[in-house]
Structure 1
Amino acid sequence: MERKVGRRRFLTISAAAAGLAVVPIGAPRTAAAGSLVEWRGISLGSVATIRIHHPDRAAAADLINQVVAESQRLEQIFSLYREDSTLCELNRSGVLAAPPAELSDLLASCDHFWRLTGGAFDPSVQPLWRCHADHFAVVRDASQGPSSAKIRDALDLVGWGNVRFDRDKVVFARRGMGLTLNGIAQGYITDRVVERLRASGIQNCLVDMGEIRALGARPDGQPWRIAIEGSQAEVSGFEIPATNRSVATSGAHGFQFDERGHYNHLFNPVTGTCAEPLRNVSVVADMATTADALSTAFALMKDEAISSTLVSTDDVKVLVSGAGDTRELTALTAHLGVRSKVD
């Protein structure tokens, strides 16, 4: 059984800018003024929120209940935190017949982002997580990671090319392989919730099911403000305005096994090493699935490789931060040697 640890949240809503209040977990809330209805709960181990503006508050609360039920259905497919989930069943047996359509769709997206990032995005790194979790469950010196031999053994079970899937089945080529969809499933669920709300006539909402997507602007015409927390080396972070955009951030301090963050939840599928401890990558894109997957991969990639990848993407913004410096990367950054400072 995997150790059930929720990753520390990177993305928070700037409540002062949005004029919103915190509500009890799991309870829908109607605002005292205006037409804001808010829900807060848990999705894939992370705090989740939905905030919509609707003229009929009772109808809005009913709609939120519907999309929350949908998100819970999807979590039952993708979760590593539920032993009876579809993904956990696949990881135990190494084969899954008649996978849910949503799993097939998400695996196809994984394949796309694996190819786009030159293999940096690789959901088959779950054996590396198991290796580190088992090691740090018993080791006394938290500054020492797993041995090189154990890392090599885990790497023998890593490789997206060894995952065979279609609409009829999913099969691992080697016994002991495993998948984690934590680097993309939250974005996928966020997109599904937003599209369900849009189809129901919602024009202004902010959804955070582990990753954030804004539909429209706030009713006053101002963009939603997404606050990015600073890393351990930063006193504070920065804000990103969002209208019809999604934001995702990945970095070592999402979850770390040691105090310095040298051993964390972001694994290089080629070397078995972890992401740099003081570097965070935020991605702004139209879809939360895209932002989620790319932020996961870019956290493991050098600036030049990120810029090269951006040549093949549409309307994606990348902000890299750490040690008090935040810079925007573009498709031209690698060629021009430009670092665009974000104030």
Structure 2
Amino acid sequence: MLKRRRFLSIAAAGAATAWLPGRVLAASPPPSRPTVWKGVAMGAAASMTLVHPDRAHARAMIARCVAEVDRLESIFSLYRPGSALSRLNAAGVLQQPPIELVELLSFALSLAHASGGAFDPSVQPLLRLYFDHFARPGASPQGPPPAAIAQVRQRVGFGDVELGAHRIRLRRAGAAITLNGVAQGFVTDRVADLLLANGFGDVLVDLGEGRALGRRPDGGAWRAAVAAPDATGRTLFELPLGSGRGQSAALATSGGHGTRFGTDPRLHHLLDPATGRSANHLASVSVAAPRATLADGLSTTLSILAPARHARLLADYPAVRAWSVDAAGNVTGPAIGA
């Protein structure tokens, strides 16, 4: 997965929390202390907070969840040569693909169709072009030359991805897939679902995207804060997360400053497949949704899609709320309740 700077902060417990991008923070321990795990998953700081009276059981479940994250990374990672996705990209075809790869790629392709190609899982050759360009000493700070971008764009096109339960084939020569725009959310959902299936109804999972179940130990809602894209630590807004009325189950934030190429802030990983260049319509986009996979995918998509097209896309997802942040730090979106 891409290693990117975090700017979504999740709090495990109540008020008086100092919010900072890239960190998971908790206030003073509540009366019923939760079981907390912190580490790294998919290239980002990660945490799991479980509210359960049996702490030994909670620790055992956390170990199962960490193992599940590792298993899913072995499917979706671009940096593990033996991952299912890496093998697909190397050979252009994958027989008997893991069901999780079929499921997530199917969702990614549906989002590509819905967005008119703004979201495109086949954009990996362009990302590789930029990474390789800036890895060379003395590389032009303006990025790859237009001719190189035009040539690599010939390898990109989600319509030529052939997806079936028993085979995935990339019909374009030199094509490759990335699921980095949705995989963090997918893994977050899988972990939350595993916990819920094993009797954990009050949970906060933060694996780069946030997903909450139930409530905090003190009975309040879990909280998430979205930080300003300027890295000052300023909080733009907070949202209650959880299963209660007026709360969202999942929240994801995307912005070009999360992973930059070189020194020019306008060159980053949110590439528009139509141009081969970074999309700079907005500084960041945050999406609240019933599931983290959807929140993750839509926050990525809306960061690339022209703002004039946002309303049309979001009309297909009535349970979703989205907030856009412009370069000046102004937030546009629905009113936020307490």
Instruction: State if a TM-score over 0.5 links the two structures.
Output: yes
CA contact (8 A) 2:224 2:240 kept: yes
CA RMSD of aligned residues (A): 2.4
Find the aligned partners of 2:59 and 2:307 in 1 and give their Cα distance.
Answer: 43
Cα shift at 1:227: 1.6
How do residues 258-337 of structure 1 correspond to structure 2 at under 5 angstroms? Answer: 258-276=262-280, 279-322=283-326, 323-328=328-333
Task: Read off the aligned partner of 1:328 and give its amino acid letter.
Answer: G
Of the candidates 146, 149, 165, which is equivalent to residue 147 of structure 2? 149
Residues 241 and 52 of structure 1, relative CA distance in 2, 3 Å threshold? same
The answer for the alignment partner of 2:171 in structure 1 is 173
Cα shift at 1:233: 7.6
Cα shift at 1:286: 0.5
Cα shift at 1:261: 1.5
Normalised to the residue count of structure 2, the TM-score between the two structures is: 0.89
Find the aligned partners of 2:45 and 2:107 in 1 and give their Cα distance.
Answer: 24
> 1:135-165 deviations in whole A, cap 9, x for unaligned?
1112536531111101011110111111101
SS of residue paired to 2:148: helix
Cα shift at 1:193: 0.6
Residues 69 and 189 of structure 1, relative CA distance in 2, 3 Å threshold? same
Q: Highest relative contact order (Cα 8 Å, sep 6+), 1 or 2?
A: 2
SS of residue paired to 2:324: strand
The answer for the alignment partner of 2:9 in structure 1 is 12
Cα shift at 1:241: 1.8
How do residues 76-91 of structure 1 correspond to structure 2 at under 5 angstroms? Answer: 76-91=74-89
Of the candidates 200, 217, 220, which is equivalent to residue 219 of structure 1? 217
SS of residue paired to 1:249: strand
Find the aligned partners of 1:80 and 1:98 in 2 and give their Cα distance.
Answer: 19
Q: Which runs of 5+ in 2 are unaligned?
A: 19-28, 244-248
Normalised to the residue count of structure 1, the TM-score between the two structures is: 0.87
CA contact (8 A) 2:123 2:177 kept: yes
Residues 206 and 16 of structure 1, relative CA distance in 2, 3 Å threshold? closer
Cα shift at 1:70: 1.1
CA contact (8 A) 2:133 2:139 kept: no
How do residues 68-107 of structure 1 correspond to structure 2 at under 5 angstroms? Answer: 68-107=66-105
Find the aligned partners of 2:195 and 2:85 in 1 and give their Cα distance.
Answer: 26
**Higher mean C-alpha deviation, range 106-115 or range 248-257:** 106-115
Count of aligned pairs: 322
How do residues 26-65 of structure 1 correspond to structure 2 at under 5 angstroms? Answer: 34-65=32-63
Q: Percent of counterpart pairs with the same letter?
A: 42
Residues 126 and 342 of structure 1, relative CA distance in 2, 3 Å threshold? farther
CA contact (8 A) 1:165 1:171 kept: yes
Task: Read off the aligned partner of 1:326 and give its amino acid letter.
Answer: V
Residues 291 and 5 of structure 1, relative CA distance in 2, 3 Å threshold? closer
Find the aligned partners of 2:212 and 2:203 in 1 and give their Cα distance.
Answer: 6
Runs of 4+ in 1 over 6 A off after TM superposition: 18-21, 340-343
Q: Which runs of 5+ in 1 are unaligned?
A: 22-30, 330-339
CA contact (8 A) 1:74 1:189 kept: yes
Cα shift at 1:91: 0.9
CA contact (8 A) 2:35 2:55 kept: yes
The answer for the alignment partner of 1:242 in structure 2 is 241
